[in-house]
Structure formats: C-alpha cells, structure tokens
Structure 1
Amino acid sequence: MKKNIIGTFVLIILSGCAYLGNAHYNELFGPEQTQDRMVAHNSGAGAEFLQQVKPVLDNRCVVCHGCYDAPCQLKLSSPEGIDRGLTKELVYDGTRLLASTPSRLLFDATTTEQWRDKEFSPVLNERAQTEEANLAGSVLFNTLVLKQSSPLPEDEVLDERFDFSLSRNQSCATMGEFDQLADEQPHAGMPYGLPGVTAAEFQHLQNWIKKGGKMAHIKPPSAAELAQVKNWETFLNQDGLKYQLSARYIYEHWFLAHIYFSDAQSPNFFKLVRSSTPPGEDIKLISSRRPYDNPNVERVYYRLLHDRSTILSKTHLPLKLNDEKLARIYQQFIAPNYTVSSLPSYEPTLASNPFKTFEALPIDAKYQFMLDEAELIIMGFIKGPVCRGQIALNVINDHFWVAFADPKKVATPAVGKMLVQHEDALELPAAEESNALPISNWVKYSVREKRYLKAKVELANNLFKNGEHLTTDLLWKGDGHNQNAALTIFRHFDSATVVKGFIGQQPKTMWVLDYALFERIHYLLVAGFDVYGNIGHQLITRLYMDFLRLEGEHNFLALLPEAQRETIKQSWYRKSPPSLSTFFENNREFSQPSGINYQTDEPQSELYGLIKEALEPVLSPRYDYKKVPAPLSAINTMPAKAVNLLPQLSYVLVKEQDGHTGYTIIHHNAHYNISSLLNEDGQRAYEEDTVTIVPGFIGDYPSAIWYLNNAQQVSAFAEQLPLMQVEADYHALKSKFAIRRTHPQFWQYSDILHQVARQYRGVEFGMFDYNRLENR
C-alpha cells in the first residue's frame, strides 16, 4: 500500500498536474467554478463520505481544524466548512484598529459563491471535474501528498522549521501558490507537525477527492427528537408579550448551547437560533454580530437548528431539554403575575444592558433561570468566542471556586429596586459596539462601577445593620439537588475550563456571584463580546472584567472576619499596579461583621471548609482529586520546582487489564496579582506554583499525553515526576513515558485517548484540540 501512495505521488508530479500556477491550471482544466457537492446521506456517495471519509477527517484533521482558531479558518468539521475553504484573514487579531467582517459558517454567507466573494479559496478542485483534475487541483490532497513525500524527521523533538505558536504565520496557500509552499516548506504537509495518515486513511481520502469530494450531512433527527423540537418552538414563539420577552431572554443565554433531548451517548444536537420564519417553515437565519443586535425583521422567531457538524470539546456546551424543563421555565417566566406592556428595542445602548432590556421580567425568575444551568452559563465565557488568548484570560486566577448567593436573599424587591435605580451605572462596554477607544471608556466605566458598588454596599449595610450577619446561609444550596451550586474554574494560560464541584486543593481566591454580577459577566464576555471586534473593544472588555472579578471576590471576603478582609485581599494583589490599588480606595466597604464564629487563626481556610460542608449534598464527586490512587496521588504534593516544568494540561492513560484509566494533571500558575494586562511574566510567583491530578479529563487542549503500560511504569512515573529539576529531566521522562507528537504510533494512541474520553464524558464528549500539543 505504501508503494501505491508513493506511486500516486510520482505519477502526479510526472504528469505536470501538481504544484502549478493558476495560469497552468486554467490552461489544463479550465477556470474555477464552484461545485455542488452535497448528496443525500443514504446515497452511495453519501454513505461513503459518512462511513469512510468523515471518520478520517474527524480524527486526523478536525483535531486542529475545527473552530475560529483553526489555521487559515479551515474548518473541516462540516461540509459547509470544507466547501468554504481557507483564507489568509485572521479571526484572532489583537492589533486591528477597526472591527473586521465576521465569517461565521451558516450566518455570514450561505453559498460557496458568497465565500469566494469574501476571498475564501477552495481546498477541493473547482475546475473540470475529472479524476486527474480533482487530485491535481485539490489543496487538501496536495498537502497530504506533501506529507507523504516529506515525512516527519526521526527526531523526538522537531527543529526550528516547525512553528507551533498560536501566533505563527500561516501560509494558507491556494493551488496557484502551492508550488512555492512545497518548495520553501516541504515539511508543511498535513497533518502539520504530526505523523502522516495511514495508507488506508490516505486511500479513503484519495478516492473521495478523485470522485469529486461529494459530501453528506449526518442523518436527520428521530421522530421523537423532532416532536420535542416542535414543543419547544411552540412555547418560544407564542404571541403574548410575556412569552416574546421571555423567549428573547432565554435565547440570549442559551444561544451557544448544544441542546439535546435523547439519553443516548451520542444524541443529535440543536442550536437555538433567531429566524425570520416561524415554526413549520424552513429556518432562515438572522445574521448579526451579537445575539441581541437588531434583527431587522418585523418578528423574530426562535428556532432549533439541527447542528450537523463534528462536536468539538472546546466548543461543546451540552444542555438537555425535556418536558420537566419546559414546565420549570413556564413556572419561572410565564406563571408569575406581572405585565409586559411593550417589547424593548434593539438599540445598542439598551440591548447591551440586560437590566434595562429585561426590566419587566421578575428578578428571581431571571436569577434562578441562570442558576439552574450555572455551569452552562459560565461555560459560555470559557468556551465561547472569548475562549482563546492569554490576554483574554489573564483576568482570572488559575484555580478558584465559585458559589452563588441564594436567590431568596439577593433577588428581593429591595435589590430589584436598587438595580432599576442604577441601571445606567450597570451599562456594559458592549454598548460601544465593536469599535471602541479603550482608555477613555475605561475611565467612564470605572466611574459607573464605583457608583453602583456604593449603592450596593449601602443597601447591604442597611439590610444587615440589625444584628443579622452574613453566614454560609447566604449561599444557594442548589435546592438540595442541583450540582450547579458549586463550580471550579481552571485557567490553562490561554484556555480555561469550568466543572461542577469544588475540585482540588483549597484555591487562592473564591467568587460568590449574585444576580447582577452573574448577569454582567454573561453580557460582557459572552453575549456582548465580538471576537471580530477591534483592539479597543477587546481591551475594554478585559479591563472591565477586572471590576467584576474584584466584586465576586469582595462578596466572598464579606463572609470573613471584618478585621482580616483587607489583609487577605492585599495578599491576593501583591505588587499590583497603582491604578488597581486605588480603585476601591475611596469606596465605602461592606462594614458589617461576619456572622460566622471562627475557631482558628486561618479564617480563609476555615471558611472554605464551612462552605464545602454547607454545599456537601450537591458537590459533584466526579473530579475528586482524593480519589486518585497511590502512587499517582503523590503528584498533588509535587514541589514547585518540578511543577514549573509541567505544561498547563497533561493527560495520563494507564493501561489496565480490562481497558484504560484516564487522569488529568493540571498545572496552576501562581501570580502575585492578575491585574497587569501586558506583564504577566513579571507577576508570576513561580515558587508558589501547584499541581492537581484528578480522575477523568479536564480541559480541551492537551499539551502532553502520557501512556503508562503497567503498574511498574505507574510507580516509576509517579516517583520520578516530582524529582525533576531542569528541562533535561522533563525531556528524559517524556522519552520514557510520553506519546510525543513525533511518536510513530501517535494516531493510534490518539484514538485510544478519544475512546477513553468518550467513556468518561458521555454526552459531554467532543474531539480534543491538538493546537497546544507541545514539542518538547
């Protein structure tokens, strides 16, 4: 089979059909013309694509080419993405002065011709549809052939020719430019910086491309799923103003979710979208930068669109809906006695402010709705469009816990009245839309934040002035069953994760979110964030999040002894810039004593224990680090010098008699503070770094994959990892136990990793992303 591959490559070269300029291709095969490649899923060509081609694309290509941050925006996770092709235009660009034009599949263009007008170039042949032309004129095929002709060097660590940085230059070569690429970068074949596909996989892709690259969508949803779709669309599109306003609120919080109805491990998923057409008609998507932008139609309909693309871990936000959930939402939004006299407009300064837009909805309904799916809502911040980039995420610590104020205590008429009185102060930076001036706006919003906090503290001091002091009774306890009441957030430098439960050792800080704070985080980082926005929009969003983080931490500090709050806060913000140090200097702090009778001289640690005890019935045990067996559990107490050598996320596969067990090693970067936008290295407290190993898989972007064959290897790995002193020690350990990106059987172990992850994650499973896989 190997000879066949090489023979094919040689034949193409000798025939003069590969690596030619556009003029030669036009002369040989005619001008480019977009092709209709879609066929039915149950046709012969459709079955071939779904059964033989799609698995190869998913497991070998989508792991790098799946989302906004795919090199050259080449998304191979759906037929639409394959047909769209690639572009030299970057989505993530932290330097642009003006917002760029969005390029979202399904929304910003609906035909291949429209994508060509937007300067996306094809990866499949669009000239004469002959077998010779289909192979010679396909960028996708030629990148595969290039890898076969120039495989990875037989080195454990690849040399400087290979650039794996997220900010690396991307060639994004068209067929007319491919000869130059092949000449200058013969190592740039696909998969990039990884072993080539197997002979059988190459043959599947070659046969498919040779026949014209016909594609099919996965089969349609079941009758039962479509019945649920009908029920929910009926509910969300009733004519009453109360229904319409509630549906708008629900959509603006769930638009990123992968909605499903079946209990199967791999159900069909749906996206809640805005359409100009009502239920029963074909969906016509409303394209807007943000979910609350003006739809420019007389009536918005909220529809459930079958998501037919490959599920990626980094963008997967599963949400199960059923009749019970429908009844719950009815009781929250429709049953209460209130009136909606008119619908709010979509004018930017209003629509970006949920406190104005949804003022008519009961505050307790809105807050409880968010709490019911708190992990999902926060996951939007983690897995939504803001998810990539160190500057976007250096606003949070590497490991912290999140709890929520009880809606019965903080979603009261008094709080609602205060929010209405200060709704202008709660305006968010998204009101500036996608082209913003960061410095002047930061000053404006900092003044408004101080004004709101002053009102909030005055109300709190007034509520608790008669001897009723704050205790852990303030916290929402998940109604006795909802595990969303306790969450853990991990930052992995330029990506992050949120999971249910208080996971790992006691963290440096903790957030306690109330309704207004929770809502603003969502509208700042999810609903209001434009990944295509200019540098000003991105910076002001990042700077404003400083305010919200501090507010969440202050809510936690209010539970600690009054005399120690400032000392503890100062320990969190050592060496912080003067601008932050003085931000709260003139603010009136919450001045009431804690209602907790502390018994030790370490109140923060004691409070963590009390909060865990109060929420014990709803703490998820899924990632309990104490359940990691010895000797691997010793990794939790590694010295900082060894921890410093670890990447952000490492996955460990342990071979057992009846399968594999999986673990995640999470490196927590310590900081003196996290308030310096562009000087993270200067704020790093390397000597305080810690690590946590948990059962299962946390995160989406593995940096290292360790494979331990037996108990002896487990013991040796657990013993030697904490002893590392220098980079050479880490390199030696990887040579013994790791599956590097250069490993000849890398893809075999990748398949094992995904199989084990599917067992652990179930409906939450998605393909991992290898763009952060280290080269060490």
Structure 2
Amino acid sequence: MSRWLTLLCFFMLVSGCTAYATHQFDNLFGVENPSNRFSNVSEENEAFYNEQVKPILETRCVSCHACYDAPCQLKLTTSAGIERGGSKDLVYDGTRLLAATPTRLFIDAQNTQEWRKKGFHPVLNERGQSPSANLQGSLLYRSIALRKKQGEFTQPILSDDYDFSLAREQQCSSIEAYSQFEKDYPNWGMPYGLPALTNNEYGILTRWLAKGGKMPAAKALPLSLQRQVELWESRLNGDDLKSQLISRYIYEHLYLYRLYIDDGEDYRFQLVRSKTPTGEPVDRIATRRPYDHPGVDKVYYRLVVDHETKVQKNHIPMQLDEARYTRWISYFYGEDYQVTKDPGYSREVATNPFKVFREIPSHARYRFLLDHAQNTIMAFIKGPVCRGQVAVNVINEQFWVYFLEPELGQNKTSADYLEDQVQGLDLPAVGTSNTLPLASWVIFSEQQKSYLSAKADLIESDVAKKIPLDLNILWDGDGNNQNAVLTIFRHFDNASVVRGMVGQHPKTSWIIDYPLLERIHYLLVAGFDVYGNIGHQLVTRLYMDFLRMEGEMNFLMLLPKKDREEIRKYWYRDVSQTIKNYIFSDYIKMDRDTQIQYQTNDRQAELYEKLRQNLANVLDYSYDLEQSDLSSAHIKALHKLQTVQGGGLAFLPDVATILITKQGDPAEVLSLIHNKAHSNISSLLGEASTRLPAEDSVTIVKGVLGDYPNVLMQVEESELINWVDQVSRLKSRKDYTVLLDDFGVRRTHPNFWLISDAIANLNSIDRPRESGILDYNRLENR
C-alpha cells in the first residue's frame, strides 16, 4: 500500500510541476498552438534550410530518428515528422494485450492539430514567435544545447547512466517538463551517447531554430515527371474487373516500395489507395492493412511523392520503366482468362490471397513476384516486422534461397491442385490484430499438416514424376535476372537480404515455390500489424516456423533420399519432442529420390557448387572481395579469416562496418558479419540455450551489408593483415577490447562523425539506388 501511495504522490508531484511549468511558459510566451508556426518561408530561409540545416539533420539525427523505431516516435526524416513531434506511446510493444491505435505519419493524421489530439507533443516552439521563445520553447534546441553543455567524452566507454538497449524505458519529455529532465539526465542530450555537434553545426541549427525552425514546402513535380505519374496511374486504374483485380494485386505487393519513374535520385514515389482519381488531390485511404475494406465503392491507385530522407533500413527501391511494364503485361495479360467477380474485402477472403486472386492465373502471379524476388523477400526484412529478436529468430544466421522454376507450374493439373489446397490455409491476420495465440496455433498447425500431406502426394503423383528432381526444377532467372538466388543474413534482431550466393556454404537453404512465397508476404508484410497485440505477433512468428520448414523440405528434395533425415537431424539438434514429431512425421517426407548424380561424400557441399555453376550467369558478385581494389594478398588474408571457426569469434558484434583508408583517405568499406551458430532455431524463447559458439564463423564482404552496424572500425590498408590476425586470434572479451582500442571507432571516438560520413559517401557511390542513411540505434558501448 505504501508503494502505491508513494507512486501516487510522485505522479501528483510531476503533474503539478508540469502544470506549473506550462503556466510559466504561457505567461512568458503565450498559449501553445500549432497555428503560431504558420508563415511564409522566404527564399533566403528556404535556401538556408535546404543547403545548411537539412544536411545536418540527415547526417546527425536521422540515423536514430527514423521509421517505426524512432525514439519517442520522433521522425526527423521529413518536415511533417518534425512538425508532428514526439509521443510517449510505444509502437513496438511485445507485451500489449490489445492492439494499439496506429500512428503512421502521412496516414493516420493529416495535420499537426490532429497529431496533438493523438497525444503528440511539439519539438518546435508553438507559442509566440520570438528568438528567445523559439529557443527556450524548442525541444530540438534544448536537447542539442544539453549535449553541448556536457562537452567531450572523457572515457572510451560510457557509464551505466546510458541505456542503449532496444527495450529501454524511453524518457519522452515535453518542453514543459524538460527543465526537470535536464536535472535528472544531464548526459542525455542529443545526439544521444554520440559526439556533440561541431560549433559550426550547432551554430547553424541554433540560428535556424531561433528564427522559428521554418521549413519550406515541397516543390512541385517537374512537368515531365507529372506526366509520367499520370501515365502510370492511368495504367493502374482501368475500369474493367480484370484490370481492377490485377491493380489490387500489384498494390498489395508494392505498397511498401519506393518507386522511381526516372533515372534520377531526387524523386521517389509510393503507391497508395485513394478515394480520388487522377487530376484531383490524393485522399489517402487509411486502413491497418493494405487489403482492409477501403470504405468506398471505387478505389484509385495513386502515386505520391516520398518526401522522407532515404533510410536504408526501410528502403525497397524499384524502377518503373517501360521494360517492367511490358513484362507485367506479358504476365497478367499473356493468357486468355476472365475475371468474373469482385472478390470484395471481407476478412475471411481478403486475408487469403489465394481466394482473392484465384481468377488471375497462379503462373502470372508467381512470375510477377519472381521478377523482383529480392524486393519480395526484402519486404519482410525491411517492413515493420523485422524489428526485434522474436521476429527474426525464426531464421538461421545465413542461408541461400532458390526458387522453383515457374514454367513447371504451367502444368494445369498441378497448378489447380495446389490452388485448391491453399484455399484452406488461413493466415494469422484472419484473427485480426487481437489474437489468442494457443488456440490459433493449433488450428494453423493442423491446416499446414494437411497442406504438406497434399503437397507430398502431388510430388509422388504420376504427373509430377514426369518432371525429374534435378537442377532444372530451379528458376535460372531466365538467363538474365539476378533475383534467381538470394542470401539472407540474420543479425540477431534484424536481417539483410542480398542477391547472389554470398559467403560460405550455409547450414541450411530454402527452395521457394509460389504458394510459399505468397504466404510469406501475406504473413510478414501485408498481414502483419506492428500495432497488433502480443497474440498476433507471437502467432505470426510461430506460423513462420511452418514456412521455414517447408522451404527447407523443398531444398532437401535435391539431395539423396538416404541423406535427408540425417541432415534434418543436424539442422534440428536438441529440439523438443513436439518439434521432432512434426519434422520427422510422414506428411513432411517424400519417397522420390533426386536424379542428381553425386560424386563425393559431402553431398550438400557438392550440391551448392553444382548450383553455383548452374546459376553462374545470373549470380550477383558485387559483394565479393575480388570486386574491391584491395591487393591479392589482402583478399587472401580475408578469405582465410572466413575459415576460422569458434573460439573468440563469439565476442564479435553481429555487424561491423569497416572503413579502409589509404594514408588516411577513405578507400573502401568492408562489412564483417558474425554468423552465430545454433543447435536449432525452433524455440521461441530461450535462444541462448541453443547457441553453439564453437561453430561460429564470419563472412566478410565488400561494401555495406547490414543496415544497423553494431560498431564502426577504421583500418589503414597497411594494417589490414594485422587486423585480420587480431580477429583470428581472439580468445577473450579483453582481446576484443584491445581490437577496438587499436581499430575501433566507438561511440565516444572524436572522429566518429568523420568516419560515419566517409562510410556514407562510399556507400552512396557503391550503390546509389539501394543505399541510404544507416541506423545507429544498435551501436554498442564496449
């Protein structure tokens, strides 16, 4: 009772202090109102913002304040996010019992006043506009001033006063409570736990904020681009049922993408649903999921400019050009078929793409997804689901993904058979965003067992036996598409997907067919609600276990029948009896043997090399060390490091981003990926108990791989061999500390921002379309 009384007294004290501070602010500067900020921006102030202020915000602030996981939901990627401000409510909350109300920028509110009603507080002064008020009433100014007051770091590792964990309790103070915040957390100015802004940067932001933090409106699209927008919108808004269903299919798969309609980098677009047609202002339809009922009789698919700073962790680029449109036409209109009805948006139908889009041939849908397969997979990596260990501990640390040859699906009997089966496969979103996990798990488990049993029967059927189980069952990218094989890396609580067979031979691999690819998208992308309750999030993760096992089962078809069970046992060492019963049950087994002829005892390794040779013409080699300007001796040493296993590798972070310099000048970027070994990945909780550090390895690639570096390093090219030797000889945490002392660019390093800028510049040069600002929320402090 005394504890609750103490808490109540504390709450009343804080509330009283905040109310008093509000009264004081009101007396000094007037009542807070967003309309106080509305004014025209002069050409001089517009140029000042675009040329001097915006670059500082992008290079010093956006690296932590972007996307759903921006602290306090403060998104500094766009003027709309800055005007919206911050909130104490969490987006990522793995404990919520009921789904939260969405707060998506540009979607769930249309102006600052609406955001205030949703509980967001300003970070710019919204009282009377004067230099004094604009600084004292601005959280942005007060936070950078607090960091400036703190001065330079005096020790390489920050004290326990700082909390860098993803699940940390956030202190989302309003301006009225910030004086108390400054007393309670004197070291928590911005940039948080990183070197302060330079005097010049601080001065620029101070001048901008003193003038009221004015941000110019976005410029109108050039006429040439506007015409391209109108052309694409006309293509996506046909009146007949067939065109409408095809456009709905395209939208439900591309709505997270950043679309380009010219060769430049200045303008990116997003595909949205609107209540209004081309020629009228976009009236965006706001629903939790892209297939929820739009609330209007007619949906229009529109292209809106993406004004946000390009952030690599959620950037999924796609070029819309005539070649792509020609391919889409061939996929969706190459066969003679009819669409006889609008499937509607009822939950039982809309959550199952096999019901909604059944009248579009499955071969057309599969071809469409394969055309940009990296993006299709990347959407579940870079979409909202990817944040947090529970979301991605369903996949191995590194594995290769191949795809079933789409022309095999032209066998009408096989295609129709699978379509009939997947009609009965519900996905977790059918239970809305509030789900009871245990009851749902049992239902989904039984449905998946039934589907796998039917699929095994199909593979054993006389029709299927006419197709040899050899390398020809895999899509070869039609001889020119580099999406034919992908590599996925897991970095503990996030992941990356790149094209090619990157890294060493993985423990497992997947072969994905159309039903599996579609279910992954509707499970982890279209059907996933980041604002959903704990049940929805857990069932999503548990269901992905089924899909992973299915992809692995497909891969095992190419290995001799006699090897399959032993390999499965190795993949799932020490699993529970329940998982064993599932993995080794009859409905996941197939009696057909592969037609591939093997010559060695390590048939899995031999298969990988056969696949590499078979797909050589479409492999992406851009991450290979041989594509760098390093000497052959350096490349040889780096390859040797990739043969090291276990030992002190366990002390390495998940991702290290390494700047290689020549006499101090930036020359190359390398990425070191720590592949953490597990006995199995079938356990939702207790991952530490499945870790096998003795089997750990590292992959080293050219360029930036991983959107969330855990540490930055700088290695002079003449010291690269020494760096390799130190990494390979790691035996203890102390050894890793010495490595950082010699080469690390810790959070506290005086040259941190200089190194960060150099890495960003090389990343942009290396991959201008795919690159973006890296996220620093996972930088370590050790």
When normalised by structure 1's length, the TM-score is 0.95
In the alignment, what sits opposite 1:88?
A: 88
In the alignment, what sits opposite 1:141?
A: 141
Q: How does 1:554-703 map to 2 (within 5 A)?
A: 554-584=553-583, 585-587=585-587, 589-625=589-625, 629-656=635-662, 659-703=666-710
Which piece of structure 1 moves more, 727-736 or 60-69?
727-736
SS in 1 for 2:305: strand
Offset of 1:469 from its aligned partner? 2.9
Flag the 1:39–1:339 CA change in 2: closer, same or farther, 3 A.
farther
> Residue 572 of structure 1 aligns to which amino acid in structure 2?
W
In the alignment, what sits opposite 1:369?
A: 368
> Residue 765 of structure 1 aligns to which amino acid in structure 2?
S
> Residue 404 of structure 2 aligns to which amino acid in structure 1?
A
In the alignment, what sits opposite 1:544?
A: 543
SS in 1 for 2:187: helix
Q: Which residues of structure 1 form unaligned runs of 5+? A: 1-17
Offset of 1:664 from its aligned partner? 0.4
Instruction: Indicate conservation of the 8 Å contact 1:84/1:120, yes or no.
Output: yes
Percent of aligned positions with the same letter in both sequences?
45
What is the CA RMSD across the aligned residues, in angstroms?
A: 1.7
Equivalent-residue separation in structure 2 for 1:223 and 1:764 (angstroms): 26
Equivalent-residue separation in structure 2 for 1:124 and 1:463 (angstroms): 70
In the alignment, what sits opposite 2:195?
A: 195
In the alignment, what sits opposite 2:154?
A: 154
Equivalent-residue separation in structure 2 for 1:43 and 1:302 (angstroms): 35
Q: How does 1:41-80 map to 2 (within 5 A)?
A: 43-80=43-80
Q: How does 1:158-557 map to 2 (within 5 A)?
A: 158-264=158-264, 266-463=265-462, 466=465, 468-557=467-556
Flag the 1:284–1:38 CA change in 2: closer, same or farther, 3 A.
farther
> Residue 638 of structure 1 aligns to which amino acid in structure 2?
V
Question: Is the aligned partner of 1:759 residue 2:732?
Answer: no
Equivalent-residue separation in structure 2 for 1:324 and 1:168 (angstroms): 47
> Residue 402 of structure 2 aligns to which amino acid in structure 1?
A
SS in 2 for 1:298: coil
SS in 1 for 2:698: strand
1:459-512 deviation line (CA, Å, top 9, x unaligned): 111046756530010000000000000100000000100000010100000000
In the alignment, what sits opposite 1:749?
A: 755
Instruction: Indicate conservation of the 8 Å contact 2:153/2:195, yes or no.
Output: no
> Residue 664 of structure 1 aligns to which amino acid in structure 2?
S
Equivalent-residue separation in structure 2 for 1:664 and 1:683 (angstroms): 26
Equivalent-residue separation in structure 2 for 1:347 and 1:64 (angstroms): 39
Equivalent-residue separation in structure 1 for 2:621 and 2:422 (angstroms): 39
Instruction: Indicate conservation of the 8 Å contact 1:87/1:121, yes or no.
Output: yes
Equivalent-residue separation in structure 1 for 2:588 and 2:523 (angstroms): 25
> Residue 178 of structure 1 aligns to which amino acid in structure 2?
Y
> Residue 281 of structure 1 aligns to which amino acid in structure 2?
E
Offset of 1:30 from its aligned partner? 1.6
Offset of 1:323 from its aligned partner? 1.2
In the alignment, what sits opposite 1:717?
A: 723
Instruction: Indicate conservation of the 8 Å contact 2:666/2:758, yes or no.
Output: no
SS in 2 for 1:447: helix
Instruction: Indicate conservation of the 8 Å contact 2:422/2:515, yes or no.
Output: no
Offset of 1:415 from its aligned partner? 2.8
Equivalent-residue separation in structure 2 for 1:549 and 1:590 (angstroms): 17
Offset of 1:227 from its aligned partner? 2.4
Equivalent-residue separation in structure 2 for 1:462 and 1:164 (angstroms): 55
Instruction: Indicate conservation of the 8 Å contact 2:36/2:126, yes or no.
Output: no
Instruction: Indicate conservation of the 8 Å contact 2:484/2:618, yes or no.
Output: yes
Offset of 1:218 from its aligned partner? 4.7
Offset of 1:267 from its aligned partner? 3.5
In the alignment, what sits opposite 2:632?
A: none
Equivalent-residue separation in structure 1 for 2:393 and 2:753 (angstroms): 33
Equivalent-residue separation in structure 1 for 2:29 and 2:266 (angstroms): 43
> Residue 131 of structure 2 aligns to which amino acid in structure 1?
E
Equivalent-residue separation in structure 1 for 2:652 and 2:19 (angstroms): 42
Instruction: Indicate conservation of the 8 Å contact 1:664/1:694, yes or no.
Output: yes
Flag the 1:411–1:623 CA change in 2: closer, same or farther, 3 A.
farther
Flag the 1:354–1:635 CA change in 2: closer, same or farther, 3 A.
same
Offset of 1:348 from its aligned partner? 1.1
Flag the 1:708–1:170 CA change in 2: closer, same or farther, 3 A.
same
Equivalent-residue separation in structure 2 for 1:251 and 1:262 (angstroms): 20
Instruction: Indicate conservation of the 8 Å contact 2:66/2:76, yes or no.
Output: yes
Query: How many positions carry a matched residue from both structures?
Result: 757
SS in 2 for 1:527: coil
Offset of 1:36 from its aligned partner? 6.6
Instruction: Indicate conservation of the 8 Å contact 1:375/1:484, yes or no.
Output: yes
> Residue 649 of structure 2 aligns to which amino acid in structure 1?
V
Flag the 1:205–1:280 CA change in 2: closer, same or farther, 3 A.
same
> Residue 619 of structure 1 aligns to which amino acid in structure 2?
L
Instruction: Indicate conservation of the 8 Å contact 1:559/1:596, yes or no.
Output: yes
Offset of 1:659 from its aligned partner? 4.3
1:729-768 deviation line (CA, Å, top 9, x unaligned): 1111111111111011211111111111111111111000
Offset of 1:423 from its aligned partner? 3.3
Equivalent-residue separation in structure 1 for 2:105 and 2:316 (angstroms): 18
Equivalent-residue separation in structure 1 for 2:410 and 2:760 (angstroms): 43
> Residue 713 of structure 2 aligns to which amino acid in structure 1?
W
Which piece of structure 1 moves more, 372-381 or 402-411?
402-411
Equivalent-residue separation in structure 2 for 1:273 and 1:398 (angstroms): 34
1:123-169 deviation line (CA, Å, top 9, x unaligned): 00111111111101111110111111113531001010011000111
1:775 to 756, 763, 781: 781
Instruction: Indicate conservation of the 8 Å contact 2:671/2:703, yes or no.
Output: yes
Instruction: Indicate conservation of the 8 Å contact 1:504/1:625, yes or no.
Output: no
Equivalent-residue separation in structure 2 for 1:437 and 1:411 (angstroms): 39
Equivalent-residue separation in structure 2 for 1:457 and 1:282 (angstroms): 52
In the alignment, what sits opposite 1:739?
A: 745
